[in-house]
Amino acid sequence: MNTIGEPWQRHFPTATSGAHLFPEFEMRAKAVSGEVFRVPDATAARETLIRLVDDVGAKKAVVVESPLQEAAGITEALRSRGVTVYTEPTDIAAHAETSDIGISGVEFGIAETGSVFQDGGAIATRLVTILPPLHVVFLPSANIVPGITEAFDIISQSFDRGYVGFITGPSRTADIERVLTIGVHGPSRFAIIAVDETPKGGEA
Amino acid sequence: MEAEKNLRKEISEKLKDETLRDALGRFSEAYPIARAKAYENAGDIEALRDALRQMKIDTVARIEEVADRFEAEATKRGAKVFRAKNGDDLKEYLVDLCRKNGVKKIVKSKSMAAEEIDLNPYLEAAGITATETDLGEWIVALAGQRPSHMVMPAIHLSRFQVAEYFSKELKEEIPPDIAFMVQAARKELREKVLQADMGISGANFGIAENGAIGLVTNEGNARMVTTLPRIHVVIIGYEKLIPTIKDAATILKVLPRSATAQLMTSYLTMIAGPTPAMVKRDGKWVEEKKELHIILLDNGRLRAAHDDKFKEIFQCVRCASCLNVCPVYTLIGGHVYGHIYAGGIGAILTAFFHGMKEFEKFQELCIGCRRCMTVCPGKIDIPGLIEELRIRNVKEKGLPFLLRQTFENIVSNRKLFHSLLRLASVGQKPFQSGKLIRHLPLFLAGLAKDRSLPAIAAEPLRDRIGKITKKIDKPDMRVAFFGGCTIDFVFPETGESVFKVLQDMNMEVLFPAGQSCCGKPVIAMGDVETTKKIARENIKALEEMNPDVIIAACPTCTESLRHYAELLKEDPEWGPKAETTANKIREFCSFVAEEYAKRGRLTKTAGGPKVTYHDSCHLKRVLGIDKEPRQLLEAAGCELVEMKDADKCCGMSGIFGVKYAELSMPILEQKINNIRDTGAEIAVCACSGCMVQLQGGLDKQLPGVRMKHVADILAERIEEK
């Protein structure tokens, strides 16, 4: 948590939120061309990511770590696949623009809209989420709130300064003849890997 | 005059622009459906709109306090806040900032406020290049045009036109393939963002609680513009300020749904205080804290905030849904409105940001149909505010000579007015084709020219009263009928039907001979004093008969009479009388439906003709009456077939339908087509203004279908019995 004043988890409405909302979240995210992969554990998460990497033939990746990624050993898996991985902010700044894939963690999802909430206070996070053509995020599948209102209940108690926001599907435009076109300035593909298992020794 | 000529020229050009007509036509068809779908999982829409409205009302009431808090919190977090009184203030500050920081290249993500003050040419003149990164804004900039829509700036252009602009800018042949063009734009603009020294963004909201600004975007350009360059400048109008972080949710529940029929845009970004940026120093990337400047723009906004009526414009979140349903905007697009804010709300914003002179040119393009009010998330009374602006304009400058003469000397003098109408019925004979000639009182204002409208009847209703009044010994009720000019002088047969229907329920019907025009055409032009004079005469005529109820068979007359209470409230003598009149006035259909229900007559019967019903804008959206006329038709045995867009304006709207016939006609044509598709024998409505328009249209385009008032249908049923 780079910019949010106090841990947002403390304000997560556990009574009304959770994995039971995942199907709605998944449906909404897919409706806006998001790709959603719900997996049981770290191993499956790693395999899913590798499939995505193979799918786009990624050679170069920029990664901002998150507990789920660390638990799944994402960075090592990428490297052993022959992908060049950058994790340092200065390296990310130099290579995000030419990378095939950006990987980061997000805080929670919103069932009403299929959005994910991310703390983008760290410059590296914003670079990996916006510059490469494919953006993959890791999300604990239990971290789903019902709607925008509930999301703002959390945000209003934890957002003091910095750069936060929702990401809802890939970048899009309909500015020419109102024809929906995916992938303008931001990524043309947006994939969510949602993991059921909570990583050991820490919060997601 | 010159301005009017230019406007007409532009309207006629836009009407001939097939790309524009086609795009807007398709969009206006698709939008209401898409919007409804987007709200499906949002809960109670009305509750959401009310919440937004209330939050904004509470905010504007203490706008200075909210602005101070916003400034303090943003400053506390390291942002520099500058308050710009107007565009010049803002531009000077910005150019100075650029000079101090050696800024030569700027990238912009969408800012309507920057467009409003014509920022780009000023920067250009100062040797600074500013590139729009929003695709639509970039296209419009390349075309050397202005956005024609607040949310979809380039909706008026085709892919072929865009390909031309791209080919010219990129100096290579760009095919008119949308996906290809989007990629070409991505490549070109990304380069610009990576090289820029400064990013300028607008803001969809600014939060006082923590000094954050919020951006709602789809393309991702706002994230890049606010992330990559080392300096970020936010241009935000006072109306975008909200007190708390939670208030942002109130906006976000409705803004994407109303603007683009999305549940949420691809990106919602909130930025509080400067964040880190990566800057290349001596060939090496280093992390530095960004400079964040927030420019709070006034430019007329605070004057509106302190205006009892116009503080309402703070309820606007710039979703543009009002444009998407506007019968005039969806015909001609945004460019004719002169400035960047189009449509009805645009005319109002322009009045405050650019002055009354600008407003004057475009205000007539609001036809007062109130469709915008049914979708506006902030529930702004756009037509009401336009009428208020007209009133103020007239107070300040007076009416044009001819109109003033007409209102002050003719319309407000019932005897003279009515004798002229009678004369007209004689005078029109040589020119009359069939039953169609001219409408009144517009014809008196010398404004009717482009087409024929229904004839003035040889014998007005007032001359038929003796013949049609039934003697009723023990009436259940004494009813005064307020006919209004149109029923009295154009559709006296409908007036007879009203008598028949009411008398059939054992009511005594009175027709106060001293009644005149309700005053609507006069107040609509902003002439309050003459309207008051007319109101007093009508009140006198009506109250002399001491009726239990006053009935009007025209929603506009009903509305006008009801408004007398407000109009005369400060008049110690007439105020209470006006109140009495206002309390007695009832619209025909809703009154009869109620009385029929009491008598067990409001049940569906069979055997009548196949009809379709047109909702008058004012009957449905001002008086809230749409079920009753339908129930009455079915009670009269009609087979009711709903037409598409039954509640869309017919294009008449008083003076507009005559003065802007070129706009009124395509709107009417859509209506006639929708009537044709139902296969009905009779088109029914309950508004005499609509009857004028629809009868004219049916006569020319669909002669097999007749036009009738609900009262006519009911009267025929009574005769059959």
Res B523: pLDDT: 86
pLDDT (tens digit per residue) in B271-302: 999 999 999 888 899 999 999 999 999 999 99
Interchain contact, A159 vs B189, CB within 8 Å: no
SS3 assignment, position B653: coil
* Yes or no, beta carbons of B287 and A123 under 8 Å apart: yes
Asked if B266 and A3 come within 8 Å (Cβ–Cβ), the reply is no
d(CA B705, CA B525): 34
Q: How far apart are CA B275 and CA A121, in angstroms?
A: 7
CB B675 within 8 A of CB B710: no
Task: Say which residues have a Cβ less than 8 Å from residue A125's Cβ, sequence separation at least 6.
Answer: A2, A64, A104, A118, A119
Distance of alpha carbon B23 from alpha carbon B33, whole angstroms: 16
Contact (CB<8Å) A176/B244: no
Q: Is B285 on the interface with A (CB under 8 A)?
A: yes
B340 pLDDT tier (thresholds 50, 70, 90)? confident
Identify the closest residue of chain B to A121 by CA–CA distance.
Answer: B275
Is the link from the previous residue into B441 a cis peptide, with omega within 30 of 0?
Answer: yes
- Residue A203 banded pLDDT, cuts 50, 70, 90: very low
CB A171, CB B220: distance < 8 Å? yes
Closest CB to B268 among A112, A166, A186: A166
Nearest to B245 among A28, A159, A185 (CB): A159
The CA distance from B641 to B639, in Å, is 6
Tell me how crowded residue B555 is: count the other CB atoms within 10 A of its CB: 27
Q: Do the chains contact at A123 and B284, CB–CB below 8 Å?
A: no
At residue B624, the pLDDT reads 96
The continuous run of DSSP H or E covering B369 comes out as none
With beta carbons less than 8 A apart as the criterion, state whether B392 and B526 touch.
Answer: yes
Residue B115, pLDDT > 50, answer: yes
pLDDT, tens digit, 9 for 90 and up, residues B471-487: 999 999 999 999 998 89
- Cα B368 to Cα A105, B262, B652, B689, distances in angstroms: 51, 28, 10, 13
**Residue of A173, A178, A180, A192 to mutate, testing the B interface (most B Cβ within 10 Å of its Cβ):** A173
Per-residue pLDDT band at B3 (split at 50, 70, 90): low
Given this model, what pLDDT does residue B166 score? 96
Residue A3 lies in a domain: no
Averaged pLDDT, B396-405: 74
pLDDT for B435: 40
Distance between CA atoms of residues A43 and A53, nearest Å: 15
pLDDT for the residue numbered B448? 40
pLDDT at B438: 36
Mean pLDDT of A109-138: 97
Distance CA B61, CA B56 (A): 9
Q: In three state form, how does the secondary structure of B481-512 look?
A: EECHHHHHHCCHHHHHHHHHHHHCCCEEEECC
Q: Which of B366, B385, B382, B364 is nearest to B374 (CA)?
A: B382
The Cα–Cα gap between B554 and B455 comes to 18
Query: What average pLDDT score do residues A105-114 get?
Result: 97
- B439 pLDDT exceeds 50? no
- Token couple for B311: 């503080």
Query: What is the bridge-based pairing of β-strands B267-272 and B198-201?
Result: unpaired
Decide if pLDDT at B443 tops 70.
no
Please report the residues numbered 432 through 461 in chain B whose beta carbons come closer than 8 angstroms to any beta carbon of chain A.
none
Pairing mode, if any, of strands B267-272 and A162-167? Answer: antiparallel
Nearest residue, CB atoms, B278 vs list A93, A171, A187 = A93
pLDDT of res. B355:
83
The per-residue pLDDT for A5 is 52
**What residues contact residue B564 under an 8 Å CB cut-off, 6+ apart?**
B535, B538, B539, B578, B581, B582
Name the residue with higher pLDDT: B436 or B292. B292
Strand ranges (DSSP E) for B129-253?
129-132, 198-201, 205-207, 212-217, 231-237, 241-242
Q: What is the number of structural domains in chain A?
A: 1
Within 8 A of A94 by CB-CB distance, chain B residues are 285
Rounded to whole angstroms, what are the CA distances from B568 to B108, B561, B576? 51, 11, 9
Picking from B110, B148, B218 by the largest number of A CB atoms within 10 A of its own CB, the best residue to mutate is B218
What is residue A131's predicted lDDT score, i.e. its pLDDT?
96
Take residue B592 and report the two structure tokens written for it: 């009869």
**Distance from C-alpha of B453 to C-alpha of B490, rounded to nearest angstrom:** 10
> Nearest Cβ partner of B219 from A155, A160, A171?
A171
Give Cβ neighbours of residue B643 (< 8 Å, ≥ 6 apart). B612, B613, B614, B674, B675, B677, B678, B680
**Within 10 A of B672 (CB to CB), how many other CB atoms are there?**
19
Q: What CATH number is attached to the domain comprising A114?
A: 3.40.50.10420
SS3 track for chain A: CCCCCCCHHHHCCCCCCCHHHHHHHHHHHHHCCCEEEEECCHHHHHHHHHHHHHHHCCCEEEECCCHHHHHHCHHHHHHHCCCEEECCHHHHHHHHHHCCEEEEECCEEECCCCEEEEECCCHHHHHHHHCCCEEEEEEECCCEECCHHHHHHHHHHHCCCEEEEEECCCCEECCCCCCCEECCCCCCEEEEEEECCCCCCCCC
Residue B385: strand, helix, or coil: helix
A31 within some domain: yes
Please tell me the distance from the alpha carbon of residue A201 to that of residue B343, in angstroms, as a whole number: 58
B34 and chain A: CB distance < 8 Å anywhere? no
Test B23 with A159 for CB contact under 8 angstroms.
no
| Out of A112, A153, A175, closest to residue B152 by CB | A175
- Report angle CA B340, B361, B692 to the nearest 5 degrees: 115
The minimal CB distance from A181 to the residues B178, B253, B268 is found for: B178
- The count of other CB atoms within 10 Å of the CB of residue A123 is 24
Residue B489 banded pLDDT, cuts 50, 70, 90? confident
DSSP secondary structure code for residue B228 in this structure: S
Domain for residue A102, yes or no?
yes
Best of B247, B264, B269 to substitute, by most chain A Cβ atoms within 10 angstroms, is B264
Q: Note down the domain range covering A138.
A: 16-194
- The pLDDT of B636-648, averaged and rounded, is 96
B357 confidence band (pLDDT: 50, 70, 90):
confident
Three-class DSSP category at B389: helix
Residue B449 has pLDDT above 60, yes or no: no
In chain B, which residues have their Cβ closer than 8 Å to the Cβ of A32? 262-263, 266
Residues 6+ apart with CB under 8 A from B652: B664, B668, B689, B690, B692, B693
Nearest Cα neighbor of B490 from B444, B455, B438 is B455
Distance (Å, whole) CA A51 – CA A79: 14
Q: Is B368 left (phi over 0), alpha (psi -120 to 50) or beta?
A: left
Whether B424 has a pLDDT exceeding 70, the answer reads no
Least confident of A169-173, B131-135, B195-199, B410-414: B410-414
Nearest CB to A173; choose among B218, B270, B284? B218
Q: With an 8 Å Cβ cutoff, are A121 and B153 in contact?
A: no
pLDDT of residue B238: 98
> Are B205 and B251 contacting, i.e. CB atoms less than 8 angstroms apart?
yes
Please check whether residue A63 lies inside any domain of the structure.
yes
Could you report the per-residue pLDDT of B299-337, keeping only the tens digit for each? 999 999 999 999 999 999 999 999 999 999 999 998 888
Does position B403 have pLDDT exceeding 90, yes or no?
Answer: no
What ipTM was assigned to the predicted interfaces of this complex? 0.96
Q: Provide the 10 A C-beta neighbour count for residue B131.
A: 20
pLDDT in tens, A18-76: 999 999 999 999 999 999 999 999 999 999 999 999 999 999 999 999 999 999 999 99
Mean pLDDT of chain A: 93
pLDDT given at position B359:
80
Spell out which residues of chain B touch residue A177, defining contact as CB-CB under 8 Å.
23, 158-159, 178
Q: How confident is the model at residue B402 (pLDDT cuts 50, 70, 90)?
A: low
Domains of chain B by range and CATH?
Answer: 2-297 (3.40.50.10420), 301-397 (1.10.1060.10), 597-720 (3.40.50)
How large is the angle between the packed helices B528-544 and B574-584, nearest 10 degrees? 70
Residue A92 · residue A130 · CB < 8 Å: no
Residue A4 lies in a domain: no
* Position B255 confidence tier, pLDDT thresholds 50, 70, 90: very high
pLDDT band at B356 (very low <50, low <70, confident <90, very high): confident
Q: Give the separation between CA B120 and CA B113, rounded to whole angstroms.
A: 11
3-state helix/strand/coil string of B436-483: EECCCCCCCCCCCCCCCEECCCCCCHHHCHHHHCCCCCCCCEEEEEEC
Assess whether pLDDT exceeds 80 at residue A192: yes
| Shortest Cα distance, chain B CAs vs residue A200, angstroms | 31
Nearest to B496 by CA among B509, B505, B514, B479: B509
d(CA B349, nearest CA chain A) in Å: 24
How far apart (Å, rounded) are the C-alpha atoms in residues A112 and A133?
A: 26
> What single letter denotes the amino acid at residue B77?
R
Percent of chain B scoring above 90 in pLDDT: 73
What per-residue confidence (pLDDT) applies to B721? 67
68-87 in B: which are within 8 Å (CB) of A? 77
Closest CA to B365 of B73, B721, B8: B8
Report the pLDDT averaged over residues B430-447: 39
Please tell me the least confidently modeled range out of A8-17, B59-68, B395-404: B395-404
| Closest to B435 measured CA to CA, from B458, B405, B403 | B458
DSSP helix/strand/coil, B704: coil
Subunit contact B266:A170, Cβ cutoff 8 A? yes
Instruction: Band the pLDDT of B442: cuts 50, 70, 90.
Output: very low
Say whether pLDDT at B154 is over 80.
Answer: yes
pLDDT at B204 over 70: yes
The dihedral over CA atoms of A96, A98, A99, A104, expressed in degrees to the nearest 10, equals 20
Supply the mean pLDDT for chain B.
90
The pair phi, psi for residue B454, each rounded to 5°, is -55, 150
3 state SS for B37-106: HHCCCCCCHHHHHHHHHHHHHHHHCCHHHHHHHHHHHHHHCCCEEEEECCHHHHHHHHHHHHHHCCCCEE
Q: How far apart are CA A51 and CA A61, in angstroms?
A: 14
SS3 B336: helix
Q: CB–CB of A177 and B185 under 8 A? A: no
Residue A80 domain flag: yes
Domain for residue A201, yes or no?
no
pLDDT above 70: percentage of residues in chain B = 94
pLDDT at position A121 over 60: yes
How many residue pairs from chains A and B have C-beta atoms closer than 8 A? 185
Q: Is the pLDDT of residue B660 over 60?
A: yes
How much is the pLDDT for B423? 67
Classified as helix, coil or strand, B403 is helix
What pLDDT is attached to residue A7? 82
